[in-house]
Amino acid sequence: MYTRIMEVSPWTLRSAKLEKEHKRLQESLTSLGNGYMGMRGSFEETYSADSHLGTYIAGVWFPDKTRVGWWKNGYPKYFGKAINALNFSKVKIFVDGQEVDLAKNDVAGFSVELDMQHGVLRRSFTIFGVRFDVCKFLSVAQKELALIRWEAVSVDGKTHQVRIDSIIDADVKNEDSNYEEKFWQVLDKGVSDDRSYIATQTVANPFGVEQFIVNAEQTFAGSFKALGGSQTDWQVSNSFEAEVGGTPETFEKRVIVTTSRDYQGLEAVKAAGRALSEKIAGVAFETLLDAHKAGWLHRWEIADVVIEGSDEAQQGIRFNLFQLFSTYYGEDARLNIGPKGFTGEKYGGATYWDTEAYAVPLYLALAEPEVTRNLLQYRRNQLPQAQHNAREQGLAGALYPMVTFTGIECHNEWEITFEEIHRNGAIPYAIYNYTNYTGDESYLAKEGLEVLVEVSRFWADRVHFSKRNGKYMIHGVTGPNEYENNINNNWYTNTLAAWVLDYTREALAKYPRPDLNVSAAELEKWADISANMYRPHDGELGVFVQHDGFLDKDIRPVSALSPDDLPLNQKWSWDKILRSPFIKQADVLQGIYFFGDRFNIDEKRRNFDFYEPMTVHESSLSPCIHAILAAELGKEEKAVEMYQRTARLDLDNYNNDTEDGLHITSMTGSWLAIVQGFAQMKTWGGKLSFAPFLPSAWTGYAFHINYRGRLIKVAVGKENVVFTLLKGEPLDLQVYGKDITLNGSHTAALNK
C-alpha cells in the first residue's frame, strides 16, 4: 500500500481532508463518468495550485504527431489520444467580492464523498462565512447531461453577497501533448442572460482523421439571480448572484454536451444541445437526480458483489465496478474500454488487449451477450486496419494494434509496437471465450473466422523455422511481462500462436468458408507449425520457461530485494529491470490461466511456485491472474493478498501512479479474483462449474452471473454455498466436481 486517502466504507469514498499534497490522486479517485463523458474530480471552483483538470468525451480523440528520439521503420505516424475536452464545469465564486480559491483560502468543514451506489459526488466547504454544499452527477438517464448544484448558506449569522460566474472554458490542453500543441479550436459561441454555449472542434490534422465537434450548452436553475453573460475568445460565462443568509440558496449549472459523433455538422450538434436543454428546463433537480440514481441502482442489481466481513474488500470491488461501468456499459458499439477511462490522459488510445483478456469475462457474466459481441465486432470492423499494420511490418495477414482508436497502430516503442504481438492471440481468445461462454457459435462462424484466418496468416508468416532445432520459433517478442523485451520464444506467445492456428483450423473444419480462400497447403502449413512449435520447457524444474535464456539469469525472488528497490519501475534503471529475473505481470501463468483445462494441478503448482515469487505485479493486470490460480491451488493467503492488491490498487495507490488516472481496464481484476478465483467459476467445454472457498477474514460473499439465458446468484457463507436460479431454464452445472441440476435453489456445504 502506498497511500490511502479515502475512508473505508462499503458504498462511499469519503474524506474530510482537502488533499493538497495528494490533489491529483484525490481527483483521480473522485472521477465521474457515464460512458458518454466523464471527468476527473477536480474542483469546479478556482484552485490555484497543482491540479489536473480533465474532461473527456468518449470516442473524441486527436492524432498527435508521433514523437520519438530515433525513428524506426514501421513506426506509426501519430499517437491517438483521448483528449482533454472543454472544461464545462468551471465556476468562479465570489463572496462579498472576494474570490474563492480553495488552494489559498482558509477552508473549514471540508468534505468530499463519492456515493458509488448512486453515482453522485458531493463536496462541502465553508469559506468567508458561507458554507457550500456541492452535488454533481453525469446522468446515466440522459447521457448528455452534467448537473452540478451549489447550495450556499451563511454560517456566521451575517448575510453575504455571493456571486457565481458559470464558465465554459475551451482553452484546454493535454498535459501529454507531444509538441505542446493545442488540439481544439472554437467554432462558435453564444451568450444570453440565462444560457450560453460554446462549440469546439478538434484542429485539422494531416492524417485524415475526423475532426470532432463538441458543443456544450449551459442553462441554469435555482434561486440565484442572473446578472448577464459575457465571453472571451475561449470562454463563455454567465454570472449569478444571491444574498446568502441562514436559508440555503441554490444554484444549478446544467450542461448539455453534444457532439458530431451523434449529429452531423455544427448546426445539428448545436440544435441537439438546445433541444436537450429545453427538454430539462423546468424539470426539478431531484427528478433529474432520481432518474440518474435509478440507473445506477439497476446496474448494481446484477453487478453488485456483496462481501461480508471486510469493508476494505467490499469498498474495493464496488469502486472497481463503479469506475468500470462509468467508463463502459456497452451502450455504444463504436466504443471500447480505454486504459484510463475518463480519469486521465496517460497511455492514449481507446483499445488495448486488456479488453479481450480481462474485460470480456466480466461483461459476459454481467451484461447481455450483445455487449461482448459488440466488443468482438469492434475488432472485426477494424480488420482492414489490422491488415495494414501487418503490412507495415512486411508481414502477411492481420496484426491487431497495441493501442488504437481506429485499428491503426498508434504505439511507438519498437519493443511494444512491433514485438508485443501476443495481443494477436488475446483477440482470438476472446472469440473463443464468447463462443464457449454463450454457446452462440454464429459469431465464430461468420465474423469470427474472418478475424481468425487473417490472424493465423500473420502468425504463419511471423514464425521462422530453425533448421538447427527442427522447430518453429518466434523470435523478437515482448510477452505480457514487459520487463523483458525483444526475447526469443516467449512460452506464452508461442503457445498462444499455436493455439490460434489450431482453433482456426478447427473452426474452418466445422464452418467451411470458401470465401476466405484458405488453401489446403495453408491449412497443412498451420498444422505443421502448431505441431512443431517450440515451447521452452525445463525438465529439471518441471516448468515452462518464460523464454530462451530466462533460466540463465540470476534467478532470485522478490523477497531478496530491499524494500527501497520497489517499485522497480520507479527505482531502477530500465536496463537493470530488463536484466533482472523480476516479472512485471503474469506471463507463463497468464497462459496457464487462459488454457486452464490443458494443465494438471501439478503443472500449475510448479509453475506458480516458480514464477510468482519473482513477480512484482507492477502491472495492474497481474494480481488477479495470480489470485485466480492461487485460489485453485488452495493458496488462500496468497489469493486474498492478490485480491486485495487488485481490488484496492487505486484506492491504496499500490503502484504509486494513480494520480495519473485510474487503472480502468484492470478493474475487472477484483471481480475475476472473486468469481473465477474464490468461487472458482469455470466454463471449460461449455460446462459451468464452481468450487468456492471463503477467505477466512470474510463471513460471506455473493454475486450474480448471466449464463446462457439464466441469471444465477451465488452466495457463499461460512457453512454453505447457495446457488439460486433467478431467471431462465434449469441448468446442469458442477459444484465441487459434482454434477447438479440447478432449478430454483441449491445449497452445498462449503469446502473448507
Which of 573, 597, 737, 744 forms a contact with a copy of itself (CB under 8 A)? 573
User: According to the binding rule CB under 8 A, does residue 603 interact with a copy of itself?
Assistant: no
Q: Exactly one of 249, 308, 419, 482 is catalytic; name it.
A: 482
Q: Which of 106, 286, 564, 575 binds a copy of itself (CB under 8 A)?
A: 575
DSSP 408: S
CB of 202 vs a copy of itself, minimal distance in Å: 21
Query: Residue 500 corresponds to which cell in the numbers above?
Result: 490460434
Out of 92, 535, 553, 605, point to the residue binding a copy of itself (CB under 8 A): 553
Note whether 549 binds a copy of itself by CB under 8 A: yes
- Residue type at 514? P
DSSP string, 256-268: EEEETTTSSHHHH
Closest CA to 33 of 354, 322, 375: 322
- Binders of a copy of itself among residues 431 to 490 (CB under 8 A) are 464-469, 473, 475-476, 485-486, 488
Q: Is the dihedral of CA 543, 546, 547, 552 positive or negative?
A: negative
- Give 86 or 497: the residue with its C-beta nearer to a copy of itself: 497
Q: Kindly write out the interface string for residues 172-201 of this chain, putting x where it contacts a copy of itself by CB under 8 A and - elsewhere.
A: -------x----------------------
User: Is residue 594 within the footprint of a copy of itself (CB under 8 A)?
Assistant: no
The DSSP call for residue 541 is T
Q: Contact at 8 Å (CB) between 278 and 147?
A: no
- The contact mask relative to a copy of itself for 633-672 (x = CB under 8 A, - = no) is ----------------------------------------
- Local structure of residue 751 (DSSP, 8 states): P
Instruction: Fill in the DSSP letter of residue 615.
Output: B
Least separation, in Å, of the C-beta of 471 and a copy of itself?
A: 9
Give the CA angle between residues 547, 597, 375 to the nearest 5°.
80
Q: Shortest distance, CB of residue 114 to a copy of itself, whole angstroms? A: 31
CB 87, min distance to a copy of itself, A? 26
Place of cell 473524441: 60
- Interface residue with a copy of itself among 94, 483, 572, 723 (CB under 8 A) is 572
User: Is residue 308 annotated as part of the catalytic site, yes or no?
Assistant: no
Q: Does 552 bind a copy of itself (CB under 8 A)?
A: yes
- CB–CB of 195/214 below 8 Å? no
* 8 A C-beta contact, residue 440 and residue 369: yes
Number of residues that bind a copy of itself (CB under 8 A): 51
Q: Segment near a copy of itself (CB under 8 A), from 60-68, 136-144, 191-199, 722-730? A: 60-68
Any idea what the Cα angle at residue 179 is, between residues 175 and 183, rounded to 5°? 65
Report the distance separating Cα 143 and Cα 408, nearest Å. 28
In the complex with a copy of itself, the residue whose CB is nearer, 298 or 576, is 576
Among 531, 555, 560, 601, binds a copy of itself (CB under 8 A): 555
> Does 576 contact a copy of itself by CB under 8 A?
yes
Q: Is 394 one of the binding residues for a copy of itself (CB under 8 A)?
A: yes
Residues 422, 428, 429, 430: is their CA dihedral positive or negative? positive
Whether the CB-CB separation of 198 and 236 falls below 8 Å is answered with: yes
Known binding residues for substrate are 353-354, 584-585
Sequence-distant (6+) residues with CB within 8 A of 723 are 690, 712, 713, 714, 733, 735, 742, 745, 746, 747, 748
The answer to the question of residue 230 lying near a copy of itself (CB under 8 A) is: no
Using an 8 Å Cβ cutoff, are 195 and 189 in contact?
no
CA distance 242 to 235: 23
Round to whole Å and give the CA distance between 450 and 428: 11
Q: At what angle do helices 520-531 and 491-510 cross, to 10 degrees?
A: 140
Question: Residue 47: phi, psi to the nearest 5?
Answer: -140, 100
> Is residue 68 at the binding interface for a copy of itself, with CB under 8 A as the rule?
yes
Please report how close the Cβ of residue 392 comes to a copy of itself at its closest, in angstroms: 6
Stretch that binds a copy of itself, among 63-71, 160-168, 449-457, 721-729 (CB under 8 A): 63-71
Residue 393 touching a copy of itself (CB under 8 A): yes
Give, in degrees to the nearest 5, the angle at Cα 394 between 389 and 396. Answer: 75
For position 412 contacting a copy of itself by CB under 8 A, the verdict is: yes
Minimum gap (Å) between residue 585 Cβ and a copy of itself: 17
Catalytic residue set: 482
Binding site for a copy of itself (CB under 8 A): 66-70, 72-75, 79, 179, 392-395, 412-415, 418-419, 464-469, 473, 475-476, 485-486, 488, 548-549, 551-555, 569-579
